[in-house]
Structure 1
Amino acid sequence: MSDLNWTLSVGMVPTGDLPELARAAEAEGWDAISLPDSVFFPEQVSADYPYSGDGKRMWAPDTDMPDPLVTIAALAAVTERIRFRVSVLKLPLRDPLLLAKQVSTLAVLTGERLELGVGLSWMPEEFRFTGTEMRTRGARTDEAIAVLRAVCPGEGPQWAEFHGQHYDFDRLIISPAPQRPLPILVGGHTEPALRRAARLGDGWISANLPAADLPAVIARLEELRAEEGRADVPFSVCVSPVGVDDAAGFDDLAAAGATDVWLNPWRFHAHAVADRETRLESVARFAAEFIRR
């Protein structure tokens, strides 16, 4: 088995089951846990969901979607080693300075086990209902990443200032702050998203792409990183592949340049709906079949 890192995706799991699941994943040798970000479920949406074949959301309105940052704080309190990733935080819906305070505190409380995945959000209603602008979401995301970099550069609390088109502040310190720079991973499959990851990210996150499509996307990402002069900078390529069902498939992804696999093991084991015991069994079974091999 290739030397991949393994991330347990726990989206849509009942919130109360997450602490036990996190402890089990850590005990079984998983490297990280990822949590999605969904602020709310609008009854009516005016755009198609980009990650399903029919453009429909594939979860019920009352499906548990706990705030990822609050949840990570709770899960970090009952674990010691396993890392936590947000996949992905809808960055332009949030004020970046207030977010910087949250993630800086969370990075310290987790023992710097936090990696922040960021994306744009596809849903017009999320922008309209939160009073943010969808038209400028790309430019504001770029600036927000720069704000997070300035406030969480490593080596603890540091003076920072930022003067951009959308965000502007004079010298300030946010404390506490991590001793290492906060890793920021960028999600998305479009050309602008890949360029943003290549230019600004410490890694890239895919979302449910067919495994057969991933080598071409990873190759394009490598081209863009070379154009940005960042080909030699450490970079995580995090894939959530569709259509992989054996070790050879994971080895092929590693050969294509993937460094991390993010997946939901009970769905990998063909459990469309899983209860608590099924999830725990799948976490252990996948670890035995793949992670510890």
Structure 2
Amino acid sequence: MKFTVGVAMTPLDQLAPLARTAEEVGFSSIALPDSLFFMETQAADYPYTPDGSRMWNADTPWVDPLIAAAAMGAVTTEIEFYTQVLKLGSRNPVLLARQVGSVANLTGDRFGFGVGIGWAPEEFEWCGAPYARRGARVDEMIEVLKLILGGGMVEYHGEFFDFDRLQMSPAPSRPVPFYIGGHTEVALRRAARVGDGWTSAMIKFDDLVSVIARLKELREQYGRADLPYEIQTVCIDRFGKDGYAELADAGVTDTIVVPWIFDGLGFDSPLEAKQDSLRKFADTYLGAPS
């Protein structure tokens, strides 16, 4: 099982040095979150907290995850990056294809594309995208993105997106993996049908086991059970060597961790303290040198 560092709500000037340290001590990848803006009042509940409130405020630092991946990729050589997850619904897939292809090329194909629909109506409407029928629209977006990123001259004529023949060069030298987020049945079906993996929000172990079993059923239904598949998770009730062993036995391929939180530090803690947490975690769980 691989270990990935989550860097949500990290001050921007810490991202590059944290990437270097994570690579040095043996982490496989860095998970990059997405948040467009903080609306003063929210029209919908945030789906991953008990009371629907957000875990951040108007002053919490965020950076576009694609720009972050390019910046962190420029100061590293091996560690990989993936969005966890980028909210597709508020974006345009043709413009996004150019961005994703650029990041894949600039990082030497060390980039995976974790995607979800998005939960906030404001993010759709204020960016000029409809909130209604967002699931069907995102399904088309994934088709468009994969088509363009595959390279060559392509065209697309769908319900939501329509364009004649075009080409974006250079195409990534290998397919960009798509990791699909979401815990609902429709999201799991999307992950099984078109994803190279599934990526979770915060989830408890028993729920995770149920999701993995359902994904297996769905992948068999879609004839994709024999293809490589990632299970990336943020499990909130399994930690330590025994806990990580349970996750691996359950079928998790990639655990996303925030070592400085385990050490009682905050998201805005000093860089050096976070680097020490990365080294400590690696010494304990990755077998990396100090």
User: What's the TM-score, normalizing by structure 2?
Assistant: 0.96
* Paired amino acid for 1:196: R
- Secondary structure of 1:206's counterpart equals strand
- Secondary structure of 2:86's counterpart equals strand
Specify the alignment match of 1:63 in structure 2.
60
- Secondary structure of 1:135's counterpart equals coil
Shift of 1:292: 2.0
Shift of 1:247: 0.9
Q: Is the contact between residue 238 and residue 247 of structure 2 (CA under 8 Å) also seen in structure 1?
A: no
Alignment equivalent of 2:286, drawn from 267, 275, 291: 291
* 1:130 and 2:130 correspond: no
- Secondary structure of 1:18's counterpart equals helix
Specify the alignment match of 2:194 in structure 1.
200
Specify the alignment match of 1:239 in structure 2.
233
Specify the alignment match of 1:73 in structure 2.
70
CA root-mean-square deviation: 1.1
> 1:89-123: per-residue Cα shift (whole Å, max 9, x none)?
11111110110011111111110001010001111
Query: Mean alpha-carbon deviation: is it higher for 204-213 or for 36-45?
Result: 204-213
Q: Is the contact between residue 259 and residue 281 of structure 2 (CA under 8 Å) also seen in structure 1?
A: yes
* Paired amino acid for 1:17: Q
Find runs of 4+ consecutive structure 1 residues off by over 2 angstroms.
268-275
> 1:5-35: per-residue Cα shift (whole Å, max 9, x none)?
1110001010011111000000000000011
User: What's the TM-score, normalizing by structure 1?
Assistant: 0.95
* 1:277 and 2:272 correspond: yes
- Secondary structure of 2:247's counterpart equals helix
CA distance in 1, matches of 2:102, 2:129: 25
* Paired amino acid for 1:233: L
Q: Is the contact between residue 19 and residue 72 of structure 2 (CA under 8 Å) also seen in structure 1?
A: yes
* 1:84 and 2:81 correspond: yes
Specify the alignment match of 1:8 in structure 2.
5
CA distance in 2, matches of 1:223, 1:64: 39
Shift of 1:196: 0.4
* Paired amino acid for 2:287: R
Indicate the percent of aligned positions where both proteins have the same amino acid.
48
Specify the alignment match of 1:191 in structure 2.
185
Structure 1: gaps of 5 or more residues:
none
CA distance in 2, matches of 1:146, 1:235: 19
What are the within-5 Å matches in structure 2 for residues 254-269 of structure 1? 254-269=248-263
> 1:29-85: per-residue Cα shift (whole Å, max 9, x none)?
000001111000000101111111111111121111101111111111100000010
Shift of 1:172: 1.2
Q: Is the contact between residue 155 and residue 166 of structure 2 (CA under 8 Å) also seen in structure 1?
A: yes
Q: Is the contact between residue 245 and residue 268 of structure 1 (CA under 8 Å) also seen in structure 2?
A: no
- Secondary structure of 1:59's counterpart equals coil
CA distance in 2, matches of 1:62, 1:26: 29
Structure 2: gaps of 5 or more residues:
none
* 1:169 and 2:163 correspond: yes
CA distance in 2, matches of 1:177, 1:106: 11
Q: Is the contact between residue 112 and residue 178 of structure 2 (CA under 8 Å) also seen in structure 1?
A: yes
- Secondary structure of 1:240's counterpart equals strand
Specify the alignment match of 1:150 in structure 2.
147
Q: Is the contact between residue 105 and residue 175 of structure 1 (CA under 8 Å) also seen in structure 2?
A: no
* 1:109 and 2:103 correspond: no
Specify the alignment match of 1:216 in structure 2.
210
Aligned residues: 287
CA distance in 2, matches of 1:125, 1:165: 23
> 1:233-284: per-residue Cα shift (whole Å, max 9, x none)?
1110101110122111111111111111112111133334533222111111
* Paired amino acid for 2:271: R
Q: Is the contact between residue 7 and residue 261 of structure 1 (CA under 8 Å) also seen in structure 2?
A: yes
- Secondary structure of 2:203's counterpart equals coil
